[in-house]
């Protein structure tokens, strides 16, 4: 299919927030904390306020005087004892304490960025250092510094789900019990386009915020709450977005600051993050330590799986972070396997670090990677073939619909058939010969075989609007938001199919809260399960309304009209009227005949799934890992845009290669961020990726009108596990059972040296 947005992007005609520079725009810069924990002893902005070009300097006292409310978590979760989670007050600018490196303390607005930076340097800031803890395992210790008096033991909440009695019984009776601690470090989403925001105010005092996002309605809700505005007093607009991976969903202090500054000054105010600010201020993902247990019977059948987790929340609870480490983590618990006993327990902890939140996969990549590592270790201990151990425990077609102990019911798929197809496509039988060839070249070769599953549907807050227009086009409005995935072309195909029209007729609009009444945005791979299904229903509803108008115009019964190719025809005659001629008859009222609006209805969860076979080579002299071969088969249901779906899969694999082999946000003992720039933080490059042999083996989802499942997060959920297992398989003969990720050359080399010394 034609990718009709590509010409615009490839010729430099994309419209990103930093491309917008209204005349007379002022620039905002932020003073950030250099310490992870400290008391503000002095904050003197008097000199900065007198400097050339400075229009405004903001502190917490200024925001308090203006009635700016603190930022709040939007996804509260209660602890197991029924008590609400501990949510410390999170001011937009620090008041008496700073709690992480990069926390905003003050803001300067000036005529130019250089003038604002000069004034920033004139601010006198003295901080009295306080003990800090940036490591989640250290934060759990009784002797750790305490961040909040209302959170003893640094605990925000304790939460669990599953059938613990079944798990306990299985552990008592199991022939084999395997335990492993798997650490999932914090990682930086690092989209190509950094965050940014522009705020303007009109003569009536109405504000407009331009910002890259994954949904404008939730941002409008958060901003009006902070600023004390009615929804109609704020418009939020998102144009093109250069990647997000969840990091741009959330409200941030900078959004509030530019809006308040614009309202105060009556001028347009702009802020765009530097890459260093992104490392300090963007909500990172992951940050979990899993103490995991797997119980098996004598035949190697899985009986129970349990995780006791420590989750790193950072210094505050971000927008939906409590749900990521709780309900998000358990939606794929056990994923493609039949496991009667499942139990997840988590202790969410405050640390002196940037507040975490969802990152591509939202709690599920950690859960899948932990179980897949545990299965490999179990196979090693029991002397079983890793692939056969997995295959005998897969959910079978006769088990479907399959209900898990976590409350999910898998809607379809054929996991054993996919597994057999993967083994054949990856030529697992030929691995021994490839391993021998690598050994002859002085390399260690490993094979990782893993399976994965996603439970889609981040939100059901979706309203679609479809309207035929007299100019021969159909306007589609959606609450979903494209952040680089190519949503417009996919939705155009869905609408074109439903309306029997060429895709070129469809105009997809998104990202403007002035006409978007309801919209949860994009998240949870919900484009096809939620937005596309709603759009399909809405298009059909619009045709039925238009049919009634056509019947009136043709003086016929609606039941006698046949619709095809944009035209209604009286069956058996040549009397007809086009959809667009009908649209020309519509009066500009609230309910034109050629327009329909519908909200989402139905089941929003589908279960895309798949498997990966990954081969790596390890250089024992340097510890460097090379990804040599990648084979994948995914079941994403009906495929609307094969190129786009493959692009999503390839992108997730690339990010996972980064997570497995090099990415980690590292803090020292004082809470200083040691990986705060692209000089220090590893991101995968093109040369780090092998040719990717990823294909689709679709089965339709009965939960979807279109038979389609989500794709955006599937590869991110499964790929890390496959790569980790491949590297560990290569190291297995050297006596190395498990290493914490990322598997950097240094970490692998040190492990190999340690084994050699023995």
Per-residue pLDDT tens for 407-436? 999 988 999 999 999 999 999 999 999 999
Q: Are residues 511 and 626 in the same domain?
A: no
| Residue 228 within a domain | yes
Length of the chain: 758
Q: Of 209, 237, 272, which marks where a domain is finished?
A: 272
Q: Flag whether 338 is in a domain.
A: yes
Q: Are residues 511 and 568 in the same domain?
A: yes
Q: Are residues 447 and 344 in the same domain?
A: yes
Structural contact between residues 412 and 402, judged by C-beta atoms closer than 8 angstroms: no
**How, if at all, do strands 54-58 and 104-110 pair?**
antiparallel
Identify whether residues 595 and 611 lie together within a single domain. no
My answer on whether 325 and 366 are in the same domain is yes
Same domain, yes or no: 739 and 617: yes
Pair of tokens at residue 142: 């009784």
Which pLDDT score is estimated for 586?
Answer: 81
- 499 and 440 in one domain? no
| CA 601 to chain centroid | 23
The helices-and-strands tally (H runs, E runs) of the chain is 21, 28
> Do the domain assignments include residue 188?
no
Whether residues 591 and 513 share a domain: the answer is yes
Instruction: Please tell me whether residues 584 and 644 are part of one structural domain.
Output: no
If pLDDT is split at 50, 70 and 90, which confidence band does 604 have? confident
Q: Is residue 624 part of a domain?
A: yes
Which residue among 272, 296, 322 closes a domain?
A: 272
Asked if residue 356 is part of any domain, the answer here is yes
Q: Which pLDDT score is estimated for 520? A: 84
Backbone angles phi, psi at 644, to 5 degrees: -65, -40
Strands (E) located in 501-557: 506-509
What integer pLDDT is reported at residue 758 of this predicted model? 40
Residues 573, 665, single domain; the answer is no
In a domain, 149, yes or no: no
- The verdict on 353 and 473 lying in the same domain is no
Distance CA 71, CA 259 (A): 14
The string of pLDDT tens digits covering residues 224-263 is 999 999 989 999 999 999 999 999 999 999 999 999 999 9
Whether the pLDDT of residue 534 is over 90: the answer is: yes
CB 630 within 8 A of CB 612: yes
20 inside domain? yes
Please tell me whether residues 413 and 443 are part of one structural domain: yes
* The model's pTM: 0.95
Query: Cα–Cα distance between 92 and 66 in angstroms, integer?
Result: 12
Sign of CA dihedral 43, 47, 48, 54: positive
Rounded to whole angstroms, what are the CA distances from 202 to 28, 186, 209, 268, 595?
19, 41, 12, 9, 31
Rounded Cα distance between 580 and 567, Å, is: 8
Contacts for 581-586: CB closer than 8 Å, 24+ residues apart: 581/470, 582/468, 582/546, 582/549, 582/550, 582/553, 583/467, 583/468, 583/469, 583/470, 584/470, 585/549, 585/553
Domain's final residue, options 272, 306, 329: 272
Q: Is 450 within 8 Å of 365 (Cβ atoms)? A: no
Per the structure, the complete domain to which residue 543 belongs is given by: 463-599
The CATH number assigned to the domain holding 506 equals 3.30.365.10
pLDDT in tens, 35-92: 999 999 999 999 999 999 999 999 999 999 999 999 999 989 999 999 999 999 999 9
Matching residue, tokens 């490059």: 685
- What's the mean pLDDT when you consider all of the chain? 95
DSSP β-bridge partners for residue 695:
633
CATH number of the domain to which 264 belongs: 3.90.1170.50
Query: Residue 629, Cβ neighbours under 10 Å: how many?
Result: 20
Write out the H or E segment, with its range, that includes residue 357.
Answer: none
Question: How many domains does the chain contain in total?
Answer: 3
Please indicate, yes or no, if residue 86 is contained in any of the structural domains.
Answer: yes
């Amino acid at each position: 299919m034609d990718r009709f947005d590509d010409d615009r992007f490839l010729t430099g005609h994309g419209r990103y927030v930093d491309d917008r520079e209204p005349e007379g725009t002022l620039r905002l810069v932020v003073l950030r904390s250099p310490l992870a924990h400290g008391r503000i002893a002095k904050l003197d902005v008097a000199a900065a306020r007198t400097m050339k070009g400075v229009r405004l300097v903001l502190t917490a006292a200024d925001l308090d005087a203006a009635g700016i409310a603190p930022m709040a978590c939007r996804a509260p979760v209660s602890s197991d004892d029924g008590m609400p989670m501990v949510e410390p007050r999170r001011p937009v600018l620090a008041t008496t304490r700073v709690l992480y490196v990069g926390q905003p303390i003050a803001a300067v607005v000036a005529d130019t960025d250089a003038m604002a930076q000069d004034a920033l340097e004139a601010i006198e800031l003295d901080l009295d250092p306080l003990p800090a803890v940036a490591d989640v395992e250290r934060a759990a210790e009784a002797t750790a510094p305490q961040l909040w008096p209302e959170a003893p033991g640094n605990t925000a909440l304790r939460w669990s789900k599953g059938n613990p009695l079944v798990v306990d019984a299985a552990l008592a009776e199991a022939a084999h019990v395997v335990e492993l601690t798997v650490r999932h470090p914090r990682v930086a989403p690092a989209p190509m386009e950094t965050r940014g925001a522009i705020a303007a105010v009109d003569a009536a005092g109405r504000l407009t915020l331009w910002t890259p996002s994954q949904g404008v309605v939730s941002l409008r809700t958060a901003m009006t709450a902070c600023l004390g505005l009615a929804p109609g007093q704020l418009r939020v607009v998102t144009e093109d977005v250069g990647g997000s991976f969840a990091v741009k969903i959330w409200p941030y202090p900078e959004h509030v600051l530019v809006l308040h500054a614009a309202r105060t000054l009556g001028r347009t105010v702009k802020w765009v993050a530097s890459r260093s600010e992104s490392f300090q201020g963007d909500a990172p993902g992951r940050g979990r330590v899993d103490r995991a247990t797997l119980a098996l019977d004598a035949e190697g059948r899985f009986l129970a799986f349990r995780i006791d987790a420590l989750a790193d929340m950072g210094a505050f609870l971000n927008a939906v972070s409590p749900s990521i480490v709780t309900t998000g983590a358990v939606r794929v618990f056990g994923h493609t396997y039949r496991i009667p006993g499942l139990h997840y327990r988590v202790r969410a902890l405050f640390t002196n670090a940037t507040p975490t939140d969802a990152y591509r996969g939202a709690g599920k990549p950690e859960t899948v990677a932990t179980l897949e590592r545990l299965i490999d270790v179990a196979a090693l201990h029991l002397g079983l073939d890793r692939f056969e151990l997995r295959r005998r425990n897969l959910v079978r077609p006769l088990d479907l619909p399959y209900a898990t102990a976590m409350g999910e019911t898998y809607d379809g798929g054929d996991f054993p058939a996919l597994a057999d197809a993967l083994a054949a496509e990856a030529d697992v039988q030929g691995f021994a010969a490839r391993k021998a060839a690598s050994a002859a070249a002085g390399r260690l070769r490993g094979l990782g075989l893993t399976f994965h599953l996603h439970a889609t549907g981040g939100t059901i807050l979706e309203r679609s609007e479809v309207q035929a227009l007299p100019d021969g086009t159909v306007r589609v409005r959606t609450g979903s938001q494209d952040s680089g995935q190519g949503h417009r072309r996919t939705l155009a195909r869905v609408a074109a199919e439903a309306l029997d029209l060429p895709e070129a007729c469809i105009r997809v609009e998104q990202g403007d809260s002035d006409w978007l009444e309801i919209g949860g945005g994009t998240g949870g791979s919900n484009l096809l399960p939620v937005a596309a299904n709603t759009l399909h229903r809405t298009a059909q509803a619009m045709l039925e309304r238009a049919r009634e108008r056509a019947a009136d115009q043709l003086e016929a019964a609606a039941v006698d009209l046949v619709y095809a190719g944009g035209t209604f025809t009286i069956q058996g005659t040549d009397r007809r009227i086009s959809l667009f001629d009908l649209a020309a008859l519509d009066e500009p009222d609230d309910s034109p005949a050629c327009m329909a609006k519908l909200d989402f209805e139905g089941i929003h969860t589908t279960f895309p799934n798949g498997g990966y076979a990954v081969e790596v080579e390890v250089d024992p002299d340097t510890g460097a890992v090379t990804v040599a071969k990648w084979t994948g088969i995914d079941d994403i249901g009906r495929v609307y845009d094969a190129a786009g779906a493959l692009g999503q899969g390839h992108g997730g694999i690339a990010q996972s290669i980064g997570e497995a082999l090099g990415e980690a946000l590292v803090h020292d003992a004082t809470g200083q961020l040691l990986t705060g720039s692209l000089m220090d933080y590893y991101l995968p490059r093109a040369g780090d990726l092998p040719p990717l042999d990823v294909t689709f083996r679709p089965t339709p989802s009965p939960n979807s009108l279109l038979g389609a499942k989500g794709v955006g997060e599937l590869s991110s959920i499964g790929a890390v596990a496959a790569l980790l297992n491949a590297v560990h398989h290569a190291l297995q003969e050297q006596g190395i059972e498990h290493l914490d990720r990322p598997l950097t050359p240094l970490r692998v080399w040190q492990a190999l040296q340690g084994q050699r010394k023995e």
